[in-house]
A and B are shown apart, each in its own frame.
Chain A
Amino acid sequence: MEAIYQKLTEIFREVFDDPGIVINADTTADDIEEWDSMSHINLILMVELKFNIEFSPKEIRGFNNTGEMAKVIQRHLSG
């Protein structure tokens, strides 16, 4: 799981162009100023690309914080 958060931190820094971002399980859109519905899909796309996975629409709608996203990523990687 640690490796997933590390990679997510890199992706978030790239998408939101902010090298100071550090991701943990509780990070939500409220914590990152640029994280809105417009940038959210770009973030999802980048996560799918870098982890080489594909989320279902239901999974994407269920991402309320980074912890939930990391759990789904782990499930895809182990499945």
Chain B
Amino acid sequence: MQLTSVAFLFSFLPLIFILFISLKNSTYRKFILVFFSIAFYAWGDFASLLLMSLLTIYVWIAGKSIKNLNDKGEINNFYPSILITLIFIPLIFYKTIEALDLNLFPNYPLLLQPKLPLGLSFITFSAASYLIDINHDEMEPETDFINLALYIFMFPKVLQGPITKYQEIQENIHNPKTNIENISKGTQRFIIGLGKKVLLADSLSIAILSITNIDFIQLTSTSAWFGLLFFSLQIFIDFSAYTDMAIGLGKIFGFNFPENFNFPYASISLTDFWRRWHITLVSWFRQYLFYSLEITQRKSKFLRQQINILIVFLATGLWHGFTLNFIFWGLYNGIILGLESLFIKKLLVKTPRIIQHIYTLALIIFGWLFFMTDSPKTFFSYLSTLFIKKSGSIQYSPQGLNIITFIPIAVISLFLCFPILKKIPKKDFRAFTILNSFGYLLILLLSIAVIIKGGFKAFLYAGF
């Protein structure tokens, strides 16, 4: 089920909310949340529900086993490492099938064909963090299975994160409760996300598809630039919209999910960008992979940090998919971050702030080209169109869509990429509060109108 679907907004959400606030007992509330979360997942990907349930049971058993092994004085960490590694097997299996487009069981009906289960990348990384934290003695395994099931399936985050560590929401899971302030703040955040997705990201998507859904030979340079710049806006607005909705929904039910974005396009280096973009994924890699590599190889002198950064970003690319474009995107980021740690950052700090921003934005936008294209051939074809002038209509995409009409949407999206609204002091008088509420209501009504009209498109990160 999608967070922007009619079924979710008008049936699922009101029903779970009413049941949740009607029940005062925390055990009943947990059962409601787990039941609805599983139903939410099954609605989107019924075929993978069994696998996800088995995965949850595995995490439950592995967590307890790791704790027992460590209590018995497991010195070399061999068996816990095996138990943790096994959690990645389904993800690797399905990503490989997806990348190679394998048809393993040609005679099976479509429903039984293996395909990447919804949210598997996000679920695997959450589950792995649970097991690793137990292995590092940072937490105890969960004693109540229902709590672990809620952690894995909790509906706002199951499909696209934020990748949440168990300890971050342990208290919320044990005792789910909310109040008027949480409901109010959560609703506002949800509406912002809904508006960003439905009114901005999906509109940009129409313009981008009209530019890129053709043979690139027909592309003009101007269209190609519009396509790349619009995509840079769309990927941020779309993914951060989902995060806003997930965090908002969590808040409504009293859960504090971690933030995933901090104005990434306002970064002053690519290193800075990776502290502000998809924060929960990068934190995962930093904490569990980079840090472990650094600790174990700390005596190594030859470009140790740079090699480890490259490994981490190659893994980040692979997380998105086992295809060449994501591998190159990972290597591209890893090499630049390695160079920044060697010397570029020292040079950058001596330049004016505006140069730092331009340098960073140019690298980020160029990097999205790997996301937009699915093979080296299309990558270089698009790249050459960007820089070798191919004239044609400035105003119209090859499919005849007037790109200029999308510029206001792009400008509003651009405005949301920078912390401009945050700088406006929050006034606490009645007129402002009324205006504020009217604004949220307007965004909600406009979004619902678009959804009912049928303009909704899937989230970009739903594919991971």
Contact = CB atoms under 8 A, between A and B. Distances in A.
Interface in B131-156: 136-137
A34 B296 CA distance: 22
Interface in A13-50: 37-38, 40-41, 44-45
A29 to B, nearest CB: 13
Interface residues of B, number: 14
Interface of A: 37-38, 40-41, 44-45, 57-58, 60-61
A38 B287 CA distance: 11
Looking at chain A's contact residues, is the secondary structure mostly helix, strand, loop, or mixed?
helix
A57 B287 CA distance: 13
Contacts of B341: 38
A40 B137 CA distance: 21
B460 to A, nearest CB: 28
A45 B295 CA distance: 9
B290 A45 contact: no
A41 B300 CA distance: 12
A41 B295 contact: yes
A37 B137 contact: no
B323 to A, nearest CB: 29
Contact of B292 (A38, A40, A44, A57): A57
Which interface residue of A37, A38, A45 has the most chain B CB atoms within 10 A? A38
Interface of B: 136-137, 286-287, 290-292, 294-296, 298-299, 305, 341
B137 A44 contact: no
Given A38-B341, A40-B294, 13 more contacts: A37-B286, A37-B287, A37-B291, A37-B294, A41-B291, A41-B295, A41-B305, A44-B295, A45-B299, A58-B137, A60-B295, A61-B136, A61-B291
Q: Which 9 pairs across A and B sit closest by C-beta, in order of nearness?
A: A41-B294, A57-B295, A60-B295, A37-B286, A41-B298, A45-B298, A61-B136, A37-B291, A38-B305
Contact of A44 (B286, B287, B298, B305): B298
